[in-house]
Structure 1
Amino acid sequence: MSEELNPTMTQNFIHDFIDEDIAQGGQFQGMTVHTRFPPEPNGYLHIGHAKAIFVDFGTAEKYGGLCNLRMDDTNPTKEDVEYVEAIQEDIHWLGYDWGDRFFFASDYFEKMYEYAVELIRKGLAYVCELTPEEFKEYRGDVNTPARSPWRDRPVEESLDLFSRMRAGEFPNGKYTLRAKIDLASGNFNMRDPVIYRINHMHHHRQGDKWCIYPMYDFAHPLEDALEGITHSLCSLEFEDHRPLYDWVIANCPVPARPRQIEFARLGINYTVMSKRKLRQLVEEGRVSGWDDPRMPTLCGLRRRGYTPRAIRNFSERNGVSKAASTVEFAFLEHCLREDLNETAQRVMAVLRPVRLTITNYPEGQSETVTVENNPNRPEDGTRQVSFSRHLWVEAEDFLEIPVPKYKRLYPGGPECRLKGAYLITCTGCEKDENGNVTEIFATYDPESRGGDPADGRKVKGATIHWVDADTAVDAEVRLYDNLFTDAEPDAGDKNFLDCLNPSSLEVLPHAKVEAGLAGAEAPASFQFLRQGYFCVDNKDSGPEHLVFNRSVGLKDSFKVK
């Protein structure tokens, strides 16, 4: 296994900061590097989260440190236990573990409330009763400070109202708790931001205990501090929020002083990575579910046959920087193709079968031929495949009237090799009443067994893959393409739904595969010769109905720079 395909994190600007922090005289001198991954349990993780997981867990791994898994369940609107369990499964699948450091933001609700009360007592927070419309009107602009007529509300009055907010006396939107910072700040995140709002909604873990919930910008730094996080690694959109993060840490009596560092998110063309939009695709039935193999979700990629090693390698090779960029989906496919080329067994499968009869091969006779499992892994050896008079071959491997430079089967055409078996010459075909070819006829050379180009025979025709009709197993094969036809489906004013690719899925229900695949189970992956890499579907496939998903094609047009 090459080191390139089993990566550890290379040095990046985040590590430069950490090196400074843990060096002699640094902020965290002598301390264990401690990071966290804090997903919101309101949907399934996608490939963009894989980069964040790689950065958070990979950084801790690089420094021999710790990484917590924390569910950011401060907003009960769309949170669900289903997502909590799926997130854990996806992270484990990628090869990371958090040990006993699994937390929920809601675990800290009581402590957060106490910190909020402390801010009020210090004169650093107040209860405001601006309506959402008034809040927007009073926000000001770059030349005009924000304002609130409630900013100087007496401390005791704010304490009383905040207590009653918690007790459920007021409807949603009646009051908010705002931090008192700087209404004239050029950073609008510092213009007395809301840190608590009323929301009478059932929480998936806390039930109906709470009807006020902390805002993320208030909760997140407190969670980090309470867990002893040293480095809070966030995506770039939180860079403007860092002053508020630091303000909360500085003004609350927390036990630690974490440092926030931001990096650019992962962007990939021909997809969307908004959980809201992915949820819409699921809820409107435009895909079969969160794990639809066309989705960029980790469970969808797993079902399509992506491997943890390919995704980790993809994350590493994209690098970590401050500069936002969009990566080609073709590069993700390239990383998978590299991995599967090393590991996947080669097998023969016919996706659009037509019967081939070798007329001079004895009826009722059969034999086995030897084929290699993986030329990149000699240690995997060879296997025996049955061969007889009747075979299945690809419909596209025959033309009754050939086009120029066609080197496959056609009446009177050149000898072609049957992979691992014999040389054959096409003699004709049989068609149905509609003119469709139902059977191809050929003769074979009994002296050409093995069909190996190394035998020195000059053959002008192509090498054809096949399966024995007497032993072949029926299978359904699903061919996937990009879910969207536009490289930037949600850019600008576009409606991403208008960019859906109507040809993103093609189902071939009558494919034929080698008999040895009859018991194949997920997550087994194979290279179907001349077709691409395929995996057993982890949801619909079973002993009575084999289903294979195409993970990626064989052709690699992506050029690594």
Structure 2
Amino acid sequence: MNTPKAANFIKNIIEQDLEQNKNQGKIHTRFPPEPNGYLHLGHVKSICLNFGMAEEFNGKCNLRFDDTNPEKENEEYMRAIKEDVQWLGFEWESLHHASDYFQTLIDYAYQLIDKGLAYVDSQSAEDIRLNRGTLTQAGQNSPYRNRSPEENRDLFTRMIAGEFADGTHVLRAKIDMSSPNINLRDPTLYRIRHKAHFHAGEHWKVYPMYDYTHCLSDMLEGITHSLCTLEFENHRPLYDWFLNVLDTPCHPQQIEFAPLNLEYTVLSKRRLIQLVNEGHVNGWDDPRLPTIAGMRRRGIPPSALRNFCQKIGISKADGTIEMSYFENVLRDELNQHAPRRMAVLNPIKVTLRTLEENHEQWLELPNHPQNDSLGNRQVPFSNTLYIEADDYSDNPPKKWKRLAKGESVRLRGAYVITCEEVRYDEQGNVCELICRHDPETLGKNPQGYKANGVIHWVSAPHALNAQIRHYDRLFKEPNPLAADHFLDTLNPNSLTIIEGAKVEPACQGEVGNVYQFERQGYYAIDPDSNSDTLVFNQTVSLRDSWQN
């Protein structure tokens, strides 16, 4: 698939840097997730950008876990992140943890203290917050701001040794409490946490803050281009300040780009954690979630996500992508590669009186009408079939293209059949259609023959039981976070389960396989499948269902 290339201002910057032999002509990026949740669609954009730029310019890209918060991070999240990056088709140059740099970061903190650029503040967290000021009001200096380097060294050493309780002291940078950029108002560098770290163990009693860790980790890894979303734009002066005042061998360049926003969902890790922990969805891999795990379980291929990110491009302009656009990208991808299958979601029985009761015939049908490389499959045909209940009508409207009493219709890849009798159950519902088939119409229409369209079907004796899970938008509003309470906008009908569906035998396969069910949509085999019932998640409908 030739995907048109959208604008990418970061690529332009890198090309100019290479022309000027900046960084000795090297390109080294990194993807630095915090292991405090599963990755989502917003991270896919960052992954594709960081790894993509490294690939395009023959550079390197690291995977680094910014694991500075022992209270929210764990091994499960770290494993999931690695799996997601590799599933998307990328491989890191080297794997790092910010926690591996803890001692080096402490050494740099001592350097700040010795330069008179950091101090131990003994105010309460509330007093620090109040004295920080506002966007319109300057902050106030801490009463501990003028402690001597010797006193600060002693207190910081004792903090590291674990002598003080949580919240007793913090180490702060000494910059400018009157700066219009609040991030420069003596930001906290270290806080005391008597808690074991999932990767670094139980040794550490102080933990560094993200802003301090991030720039130094980039520097230590020799990163040339530190690519971040726009939320870090106001943090860039602090990023540069640390690297300017410390004795460091290089100075990575931070560049910000617009994050990805998608209608009818949330791409906030904090909100996703809330949805999972409060049971509004069924875990991190719920197919309704925009997590990579959820999208993988839903059957969205990694190539579609990469194509999507390439099409939307990289810019500074913040915006929201329409769900219809995202789904059309999925359809374009799946339409080319997904094998075709027949599945009847709401079955009604059809008996062909013109065939013997034990009739069994195997028809060879293409797996894809335009992709010969996918080959053919064998589809069983018998005298008892299932068709969709909606494909029959007692009172057909004008131009009805399906089955009715006395009317004919073609079965996909098989014969033309004609309905001769309709049987009803005790409630008056149609329960069986008695039809005849025309043996001269297998795969062809004899001259002068007229049939009311084409419908799909499944041989009843060979049919496999299936549960079908249909997904609608997770939220009722395009921008859930604009509501006073975003949970109030949850769509109670975001998941609909259909029991008793019937599918052809060729629908069996590995978990994650995606098929186009004829006239229905695209569906992926779910891990909940068992020997009695196949479970399918709807990946996307055949047509755009998001337009009003």
Same fold by TM-score greater than 0.5: yes
Name which of 497, 507, 513 aligns with 1:507: 497
**Residues 140 and 147 in structure 1, CA contact (< 8 A), matched pair in contact too:** no
What letter matches 1:502 in structure 2?
P
Q: What is the aligned partner in structure 2 of residue 298 from structure 1?
A: 292
Please state how far the C-alpha of 1:143 moved relative to its aligned partner: 4.4
The 8 Å contact of residues 37 and 269 in structure 2, kept in 1 or not, is answered as: yes
| Corresponding position of 1:375 | 369
Out of 393, 402, 409, the position equivalent to 1:399 is 393
Contact 1:190-1:244 within 8 A present in 2 as well? yes
Write out per-residue CA displacement over residues 256-280 of structure 1, whole angstroms, 9 at most, x where no aligned residue: 2111000010000000111121112
Partner SS, residue 247 of structure 1: helix
Q: Within 2, Cα distance between the matches of 1:200 and 1:143?
A: 34
Instruction: Name the counterpart of 2:309.
Output: 315
Change (3 A) 1:219 1:396: same
| Aligned AA (2:457) | W
TM-score calculated relative to the size of structure 1: 0.94
Q: State the partner residue of 1:470.
A: 461
Structure 2 partner of 1:439: 432
Offset at 1:558? 8.1
Q: Residue 456 of structure 1: CA displacement?
A: 5.0
Q: Which runs of 5+ in 2 are unaligned?
A: none
Deviation at 1:144, TM superposition (A): 3.0
Aligned partners of 1:132 and 1:303: how far apart in 2? 43
Aligned Cα root-mean-square deviation (Å): 1.8
Q: Which amino acid aligns with 1:192?
A: D
Establish whether residue 122 from structure 1 lines up as the match of residue 121 from structure 2: no
Do structure 1's residue 517 and structure 2's residue 507 form an aligned pair? yes
Paired residue secondary structure (1:135): helix
In the alignment, which of 463, 472, 478 is matched to residue 487 of structure 1?
478
Question: 2:452 matched to 1:461?
Answer: yes
1:17: which partner in 2?
13
Q: For 1:37 and 1:457, how far apart are their aligned partners in 2?
A: 64
Look up the match of 1:553. Answer: 541
**Which residue is equivalent to 2:408?**
415
Tell me if the contact between 1:128 and 1:150 (Cα under 8 Å) persists in the aligned partners.
yes
- Is the 8 Å Cα contact of residues 331 and 558 (structure 1) preserved in structure 2? no
Residue type of the alignment partner of 1:497: L
Counterpart of 2:517 in structure 1 is 528
Matches within 5 A, 1:539-550: 539-550=527-538
Could you report, residue by residue, the CA deviation over 1:344-400 in whole angstroms, capped at 9, with x for unpaired residues? 111111111111112222322222233222112123333332212110101111122
Amino acid at match of 2:63: L
Map of 1:134 onto structure 2: 127
Distance in 2 (CA, whole Å) between partners of 1:206 and 1:363 is: 70
Aligned-partner Cα distance in 1 for 2:546–2:200: 49
Deviations along 1:420-445, one digit per CA (max 9) or x if unpaired, are 11111222322221222221222222
Question: Which runs of structure 2 are paired with 1:76-91 in the superposition (5 Å)?
Answer: 76-91=70-85
Task: Report the alpha carbon displacement of residue 11 of structure 1 after superposing the two structures with TM.
Answer: 6.1
Distance, in Å, in 2 between the alignment partners of 1:379 and 1:218 is 53
* Deviation per residue, 1:54-96 (Å, 9 max, x gap): 1111111111000000001001111010010000000000000
Matches within 5 A, 1:354-393: 354-393=348-387
Match of 2:275 in 1: 281
- Structure 1 residue 111 corresponds to structure 2 residue 107: no
Post-superposition shift, 1:10?
Answer: 6.0
- 1:449 matches 2:409: no
Q: Are 1:191 and 2:181 matched, yes or no?
A: no
Aligned equivalent of 2:341: 347
Q: Distance in 2 between matches of 1:505 and 1:456?
A: 47
The alpha-carbon deviation at position 337 of structure 1 amounts to 1.0
Describe the shift of the 1:125–1:307 C-alpha distance in structure 2 as closer, same or farther (beyond 3 A): same
Identity over aligned residues, as a percent?
49
Stretches of structure 1 that go unaligned for 5 or more consecutive residues are none
Question: Any conservation in 1 of the 2:410–2:451 contact (CA below 8 Å)?
Answer: no
